[in-house]
Chain A
Amino acid sequence: MDTSSVARDPSLPHAPRATRGRVALVIGSGSVKCAAALGAYRALQREGIDVDMVVGCSAGSLFASVMALGYDPETCARMASGLWTKDLTSQPDRRALLRAAFPRLFGFDAHWGLRNDARIMRRMEETYGDRTFADARIPLFITATDFHTGEQVVLRSGRLVDAIRASIAIPFAFRPHEVDGRLLIDGFMSDPLPVGVAIREGANVIVAIGFESPYQSRVTSAGRFAFQLSSIMTNNLLKASFAFHGLAHHSEVIAVIPRFEQRIRLFDTAKMPYIIDEGERAMTEQVPYLRRLLAAVPAA
């Protein structure tokens, strides 16, 4: 297997394989914890199991994109840890607070966010450049949410930077992002673990890596209360949506839920190697079941 960091070659088509459409990797929202998907990817590569499509939601879209571009897991990890550092969101947007406090005077509209997103955009441009979905070697789907209608939006064309920026537009923290004339926010608000996308795209076996949002140990401000409420609602949404899709798609959805003994904060990028290892461990546990499923599913 070619594991060099320049494995991608734009002249290559989407590499149709005999097993095309069989295995989907779905990476749910979960901030830096999504790096566990790289460990799962490492385990699948080691076992010689091809991934035929990748679906990413919120921070999961960052990792889904580097995988789909054809980088090996180690390069993916290096790219991700360079992309995701604490200084990313340390720049507040000073006008944002004035806008929230005096909406009539300073003008409040849907394009509102507490944090300046210039740095994260620049960092993503450095990583993904002008690459588009067409450059992906594995079919890639990124989910976001339409701010006006609330519907889930599946992005499958255009610049990766725009799709990822929309998918990670955490409410209140980052401004919503416009793609093809639609104002989009974080994909976790419509489905934190978008297994339905892989089902609709014809996957036979779906490996779903999902994470619950953490609860606050103490609610000491209105912001934390809102955060707690968001965690409650999206965790219940995650469970309900996963239960439905698991039932609708019979037993071929494999949940890979890494167990983290260590507490992982939003910018604990130093813990990325640990997170990746736990992802690999969780995936490895499911490999025998995955193999049984693949043996039972006829090739497409």
Chain B
Amino acid sequence: MTAGPRTGGAGLAAGYAGPGPARGRDGRPRVGLVIGSGGVKCAAAIGLWKVLAREGIAVDAAVGCSGGSVYAAAIALGFDVGESERRTLVMWRDLFTRLHYRSLLRALMPRLFGFDEGVGLIDDRRVRLVLRELFGDATFADARVPLFIAATDVATGEKVTITEGRLADAVRASIALPLLLRPWPVGGRLLVDGGASNPLPVDVAIREGCDAILAMGFENHPHGPVRSFAGAVGRTTTIVQNHLLRATFAFYNIAHHAEVVPVIPTLGRSIGLTDVHEIPALIEAGARAMEEQLPYLRRLLAATAT
């Protein structure tokens, strides 16, 4: 993988230094990869990554949101795609199955046990263990290409782009599914899932000055009858997030003309957080979606090459 120029500024979005040069070091067009929020569906990024590796197309900037941040970070660190695929097949297992009983009590009896933003109903020890195994103490400075991880400020609702510090912390903040995983502090701010503000953060790659932007996004398909309160909460969140995805994507697309290439894997069925047995099919679907866009991407790269 070719190392692109480092242009990311220090700190959170406020410290960002502005768009980078529009060309890679060798004069070729810059390719940005954006992997959006989608829980276990983000494993489809492995399929996309395999196709890019086979075709020798280098990524010059990686942006990840929520589950997508795991793969954006792996690509930016220069991990081996085969090894990442092997890890993906096991790491999602049992990730969200243990309840955090103290949080449950605090949610049910807030006055007695005290409720605050720090509550998460899932015991996140295994999540943190997986992130430590994946990224160790690596920081954004270890990334070979500029890396950006999207999260949301839980107090102000603003979208936040993390560009420095430990990757394990940035990813943990980006995947903090509201109410399930407790919010995570980064740079003095309490952050939750990036999907709550910007599920497919194409804007970050636009600001980075990429010539072609591969945008892998995931819609959630509401399905089946709602039979519980949790189901009703899930349905309402899904509906708003789908509209947020479409509205932000429509805006970024119109603002950036035609150089955003949507890579949308389709499986034709609904996939939840615990459907880890679907991972091989997801990787296949991700590869297929990328294959379909290859001719267009090639034309774009040819048109923008100097």
Expressed in whole angstroms, the Cα–Cα distance for A241 and B178 within the complex equals: 23
Pairwise interchain contact A150-B243, C-beta atoms closer than 8 A:
yes
Pairwise interchain contact A171-B244, C-beta atoms closer than 8 A:
no
Chain B positions within 8 Å of A103 at CB level:
227-229
Pairwise interchain contact B157-A109, C-beta atoms closer than 8 A:
no
Chain A positions within 8 Å of B248 at CB level:
236, 240
Segment touching A, from B94-102, B148-156, B161-169: B148-156
Tell yes or no: A189 within 8 A of B by CB: yes
Given A225-B179, A241-B247, A244-B251, check contact A236 B197 (CB 8 Å).
yes
Pick the contact of B236 from A108, A189, A222, A235 — CB < 8 Å? A189
Tell yes or no: B115 within 8 A of A by CB: yes
Tell yes or no: B41 within 8 A of A by CB: no
Number of B residues with CB within 8 Å of any CB on chain A: 43
Pairwise interchain contact B238-A150, C-beta atoms closer than 8 A:
yes
CB-nearest residue of chain A to B236? A171
Chain B positions within 8 Å of A230 at CB level:
236, 240
Q: Could you tell me which residues of chain B, from 97 to 120, have a CB within 8 Å of some CB in chain A?
A: 107, 110, 115-117, 119
Pairwise interchain contact B179-A226, C-beta atoms closer than 8 A:
yes
Given A229-B237, A247-B254, A247-B255, check contact A219 B116 (CB 8 Å).
yes
Pick the contact of B250 from A108, A221, A244 — CB < 8 Å? A244
Pairwise interchain contact B251-A236, C-beta atoms closer than 8 A:
no
Tell yes or no: A6 within 8 A of B by CB: no
**Interface mask (B214-240 → A, CB under 8 Å = 1, otherwise 0):** 000000001001111101110111111
Given A150-B243, A189-B240, A232-B197, check contact A112 B119 (CB 8 Å).
no
Q: Could you tell me which residues of chain A, from 274 to 297, have a CB within 8 Å of some CB in chain B?
A: none
Chain A positions within 8 Å of B240 at CB level:
189, 230, 233-234, 237
Pick the contact of B197 from A218, A225, A233 — CB < 8 Å? A233
Tell yes or no: A190 within 8 A of B by CB: yes
Segment touching B, from A20-28, A68-76, A141-149: A141-149
Subset of 11 A-B contacts with CB under 8 Å = A100-B229, A103-B229, A150-B243, A152-B243, A185-B236, A215-B157, A225-B119, A233-B244, A234-B240, A241-B243, A247-B251
The residues of A with any CB-CB pair to B shorter than 8 Å are 100, 103, 108-110, 112, 145, 147-150, 152, 171-172, 185, 189-191, 215, 218-222, 225-226, 228-237, 240-241, 243-244, 247-248
